[in-house]
């Protein structure tokens, strides 16, 4: 239902994409939580649960065929936020708690990804994966931050998004016994398209084009670093468990 989203993200500036992904798109999840007592969960589960199961895989397949890094992130955001209706339909206390955590952490991960795309565009003057290459040679510091962003968006430990995804699996398993196979395929496809853009950007051979390194300023890294600092309390609490 959100195939307008990649077009909006591609046309929007970096700050607009951050606000759209971090704040505006979460209003749908907030609305589902507010109107949850008035929604017939059983009717939704019997009518469109199969659509959700198919669409979460279809949207992940779409991500695997994207050449524009910003469009890829927008489609991956659509695929990832399909977690929210699953948790709402599960309709248990654990699911309601996890949907808030999933939306909050997705707001942080999407912020990191769209800020990274803005920095990449200032370096390469392009968002095409065939042209964005050799970043590890150009900027090792930004490459390290991009690897951390990749791990956080992939929900890998020790990042707190890992806890949210595991509890999402537990809370949604009651929907159908076959749900585990859909989640495993969804996780595998997420690994495929995330490794695709990371390997192309960092480890592919550099093209002989002129890079505008003079536009890479400290002020561009500041939002990226501040977003990582927000994650520090969650990371420490996870490590203390």
Please write the tens of the pLDDT for every residue from 118-127: 888 888 888 8
Q: What is the pTM of this model?
A: 0.80
CA pair distance 217, 59, nearest whole angstrom: 35
Residue with tokens 């510091």: 141
**Mean pLDDT computed over 93-119:** 81
What pLDDT, in 10s, does the model give residues 91-101? Answer: 777 777 778 88
- In this predicted structure, the answer to whether residue 115 has a pLDDT above a threshold of 60 is yes
- In this predicted structure, the answer to whether residue 4 has a pLDDT above a threshold of 70 is yes
Write out the DSSP string of 83-118: HHHHHHHH-SHHHHHHHHHHHHHHHHHHHHHHHHHH
């Amino acid at each position: 239902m959100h195939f307008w989203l990649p077009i909006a993200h591609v046309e929007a500036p970096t700050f607009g994409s951050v606000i759209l992904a971090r704040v505006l798109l979460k209003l749908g999840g907030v609305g589902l939580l507010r109107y949850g007592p008035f929604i017939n969960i059983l009717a939704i589960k019997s009518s469109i649960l199969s659509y959700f199961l198919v669409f979460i895989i279809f949207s992940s397949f779409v991500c695997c065929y994207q050449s524009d890094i910003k469009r890829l992130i927008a489609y991956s955001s659509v695929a990832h936020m399909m977690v929210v209706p699953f948790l709402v339909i599960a309709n248990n206390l654990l699911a309601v708690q996890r949907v808030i955590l999933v939306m909050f952490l997705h707001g942080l991960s999407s912020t990191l990804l769209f800020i990274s795309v803005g920095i990449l565009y200032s370096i390469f003057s392009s968002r095409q994966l065939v042209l964005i290459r050799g970043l590890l040679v150009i900027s090792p510091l930004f490459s390290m931050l991009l690897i951390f962003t990749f791990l956080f968006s992939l929900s890998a430990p020790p990042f707190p998004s890992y806890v949210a995804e595991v509890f999402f699996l537990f809370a949604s398993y009651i929907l159908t016994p076959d749900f585990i196979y859909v989640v495993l395929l969804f996780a595998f496809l997420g690994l495929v398209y995330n490794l695709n853009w990371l390997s192309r950007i960092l480890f592919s051979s550099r093209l002989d084009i002129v890079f505008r390194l003079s536009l890479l300023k400290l002020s561009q890294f500041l939002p990226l670093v501040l977003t990582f600092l927000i994650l520090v309390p969650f990371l420490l609490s996870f490590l203390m468990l």
